[in-house]
Structure 1
């Protein structure tokens, strides 16, 4: 079936406003139900979002310390990358499972994965165990990111969705904002293991609330074996394998191996080919129910939104993972203070993100919001290139605020704009595909600046006149690992100033390249076509009218 963009305006508006013809083809319309159970579910989703939000950033300030404690070397990047890798690779799978088995038990499994992974990470005594735990944790985190959006989409019409997304977003952003500070405080005052163990009580609370309150509709007629046959096993396997291959190349390119090395080129080609093969495979007769239906890429607007989602996510983590390096290595801040100094990048995004989704709910126009957001973000990243050892507090606060305001303006208006392109029956698959692009962007948003930083640092480290000190920073990933104020400021002057200057120069190149990514996003938005947001709700996954238990809620 054609998307709303590809149909005549009157037909597209009929789909979105719930015409008789459209209603006859899909599930019965559901009245937007703001009952006590609705608000209990919203509270449950908000608590669940804290898990993913906190863990996304709590590691940023603690990672250099963890890297040194467990002697990770250039494997440090896997602590973050494997988290984003598994999160990205399994999101389409969870979207399909949610359609087949319903939302409740899939959500319970997702949170259980995250909590289990947190426990494994906290108990890790070597790099392999830590990375394995982060992989399990990432599966849960990726699932959390998609399932929250899917459930909100089940409960709230598209046009009004921004008003309620803002509630979850507020809680999520508070968790994200606290992450760097919490990570710094934990490292400074107790064992780094609490960076992960802090999730255990939150995860337990979320599991109880999900079990009690998340009682929504699903297909009860189909048998378990019939549902199992609907899963796209081969499609999911191809997608996971291709994603792993690409990430391996990005992780070691320019660090352990040169970019021209067969150890980098081979997995990169295999991974990119695998992604292309996945796209083709999903269109073949062998796949009865594709995990990512090809119709999701059927028009220019959906393709554009997927692209800018990827770029915006990359830029978000670009900033979150390399601003702490600037604060600790260049300005000489402790890990806990760096966590406070990065707060403007998160806290300023709160009013920007909430204001933008409220504007979207009121006026139903997403394209102007995207243009404004990317324009402001590009300006802010340009100002980041001015960061140096003499940058004042006012300057780094204001520059962060500008960048964060732009990024926040875009962050939560992208999903509604992609959902508007397709009918409600495709919402879980659409949300899963969009979440995959967002998570895949996060992977590149850590790997690309890491490669840029390490390569540029290697080019500039000849400015360190002491050969013994220069040797301390030789080797891939070492410069990031050594980005601790206590280490850098242990050198006497003028060696200390030389080291700081090299860090400052390497980070400047990181920000220069980010301008290109943000500028490209701005120009891509002009390709988008504005589609009217639906005001009706048609879904089989709404709140159960007669729950088996807890009928008083």
Structure 2
């Protein structure tokens, strides 16, 4: 789809890269503010606003005639998608007792899983047989259904009644603007690093440094100034909580890296058609999401999440280690079985880390714990763009230079675009050297993944057990019906 978009809208490869990255950055920048604003205005209102953002973004994408318009639409979609997913988890936390949340959270995972399973194949079929605009047209029925159903079914209201003017005054405008500007600068610098500009260039360093300083100022401001801070530092109330959020960030890193670099491996080393690659990734997701759903049910049944964190990180580390078996000669069937191992581990973590953050938070901080969980996972994905790309390029460049390949720097800097030329080359020593160098580049990324997952596994043994048997206590109550009782039994 990316090549089709670039061709029809006159975009460059860099602009095509940003169609995905802009969605991710907008998602990360706005998510931390959502919990606080929904505490003030209400859950239904924020969910509706998120749906509207996503719908408007879809309209902009459908009607785009330039890459700039498409990027604007993808940014709006990113804001909306982040709000929809975050509000879904927050609403579940408002109406379902803690121990039951992993079970009911499976419905959200099921929806996400269906999209992840069907999306790649449908996307390939659509772009191959119709116009790319249908990638966005198909969102309209779902958007319209959501806009109709949410006002009728989401009847949560905050206990504290305020006027609209009082709600506006309660919003932490200064903190929100400072955070959004800072995290946007920081993440833009990270996504540029090693991909569009060198790490040591001012184009990379200035936004990263400015963003980092801004984030530090945000934390200081949030602790001391606003009456209703959007950033609750209290969610990091223990070593266990800090470790869970670190593991969540790494999990996001792993999710993105597995998706991107495995697909890139198939397209570059195995020369497989993108549609077939999408089918392979569907097979992988058919294991990941059921594993996550079963994990949620078992956490509810046994009232503990630590076993899932430990098991998930152990299996993920094993799966990352097995990725070193991916080379030029490995059969596609064998590579799929290798990928299934890490998918099981990822599935365990998908449910376990979410419930862990809520379990370790104070009751009044649960909505903020949910938003921080979503932010950290998305932050990890953004880091995967930067650190994964830099690792691959550096290892690839070194391998090309060792094999005395001409134009090594040109190939390493634009490794994705070079794949088409690579496949068109006649068999011989030069092509073999480049392919072997690509394999080395992938193995460099896999080394990073093993190190991160193994470090998190060791750190997870310092996490302490927290009971899930906690009474439901939310400031947002169901209206016109009885709210769920705080029964904590399985």
Q: TM-score when scaled to structure 1?
A: 0.82
What is the SS of the residue equivalent to 1:385?
helix
Tell which deviates more after alignment, 334-343 or 65-74.
65-74
Which of these residues, 23, 27, 48, is aligned with residue 87 of structure 1?
27
- Give, in angstroms, the shift of residue 187 of structure 1: 2.5
Contact 1:424/1:539, CA 8 A, preserved across alignment: yes
Instruction: Tell me the residue number matched to 1:306.
Output: 245
Instruction: Tell me the residue number matched to 1:371.
Output: 310
Q: Classify 1:472/1:449 alpha carbon distance in 2 versus 1 (closer, same or farther; 3 Å).
A: closer
Alignment of 1:319-398 (within 5 A): 319-398=258-337
Contact 1:110/1:143, CA 8 A, preserved across alignment: yes
Q: Deviations over 1:285-333 (max 9, x none)?
A: x211110122112211111111111111111011111211111111111
In 1, Cα distance between equivalents of 2:294 and 2:134: 34
Q: Classify 1:411/1:466 alpha carbon distance in 2 versus 1 (closer, same or farther; 3 Å).
A: closer
In 1, Cα distance between equivalents of 2:132 and 2:35: 33
Instruction: Tell me the residue number matched to 1:479.
Output: 415
Instruction: Tell me the residue number matched to 1:207.
Output: 147
Q: Classify 1:200/1:306 alpha carbon distance in 2 versus 1 (closer, same or farther; 3 Å).
A: same
In 2, Cα distance between equivalents of 1:422 and 1:178: 35
- Give, in angstroms, the shift of residue 269 of structure 1: 1.7
Alignment of 1:486-505 (within 5 A): 488-494=422-428, 496-505=431-440
Instruction: Tell me the residue number matched to 1:527.
Output: 462
- Give, in angstroms, the shift of residue 281 of structure 1: 1.1
- Give, in angstroms, the shift of residue 228 of structure 1: 0.7
In 2, Cα distance between equivalents of 1:541 and 1:229: 20
Q: Classify 1:245/1:436 alpha carbon distance in 2 versus 1 (closer, same or farther; 3 Å).
A: same
What is the SS of the residue equivalent to 2:476?
coil
Instruction: Tell me the residue number matched to 1:121.
Output: 61
Q: Classify 1:128/1:420 alpha carbon distance in 2 versus 1 (closer, same or farther; 3 Å).
A: same
Q: Deviations over 1:144-178 (max 9, x none)?
A: 12101001111110011111112221222121122
Alignment of 1:25-424 (within 5 A): 62-67=1-6, 69=8, 70-219=10-159, 221-284=161-224, 286-424=225-363
In 1, Cα distance between equivalents of 2:88 and 2:477: 14
Tell which deviates more after alignment, 90-99 or 527-536.
527-536
Q: Deviations over 1:254-287 (max 9, x none)?
A: 2332212222222212222222221111111x21
Contact 2:42/2:157, CA 8 A, preserved across alignment: yes
What is the SS of the residue equivalent to 2:478?
coil
Contact 2:194/2:386, CA 8 A, preserved across alignment: no
Q: Which runs of 5+ in 1 are unaligned?
A: 1-61, 548-553
Contact 1:255/1:475, CA 8 A, preserved across alignment: no
What is the SS of the residue equivalent to 1:534?
coil
What is the SS of the residue equivalent to 1:282?
helix
- Give, in angstroms, the shift of residue 107 of structure 1: 0.6
In 1, Cα distance between equivalents of 2:167 and 2:4: 46
What is the SS of the residue equivalent to 1:420?
helix
Contact 2:157/2:479, CA 8 A, preserved across alignment: yes
In 1, Cα distance between equivalents of 2:139 and 2:447: 36
Q: Deviations over 1:440-472 (max 9, x none)?
A: 1121122221222233333444589886xx589
CA RMSD of aligned residues (A): 2.3
What is the SS of the residue equivalent to 1:412?
helix
Q: Which has the higher contact order (CA 8 A, sep 6+)?
A: 1
Q: Deviations over 1:471-501 (max 9, x none)?
A: 895474x3223445xx543332235544433
In 2, Cα distance between equivalents of 1:125 and 1:459: 40
Q: Classify 1:63/1:503 alpha carbon distance in 2 versus 1 (closer, same or farther; 3 Å).
A: farther
Instruction: Tell me the residue number matched to 1:540.
Output: 475
What is the SS of the residue equivalent to 2:251?
helix
Q: TM-score when scaled to structure 2?
A: 0.92
Q: Does 1:513 find its partner at 2:477?
A: no
Q: Deviations over 1:103-141 (max 9, x none)?
A: 112111101111221222233333322222221111011
Instruction: Tell me the residue number matched to 2:485.
Output: none
Tell which deviates more after alignment, 356-365 or 535-544.
535-544
- Give, in angstroms, the shift of residue 541 of structure 1: 2.1
Q: Which runs of 5+ in 2 are unaligned?
A: 483-490
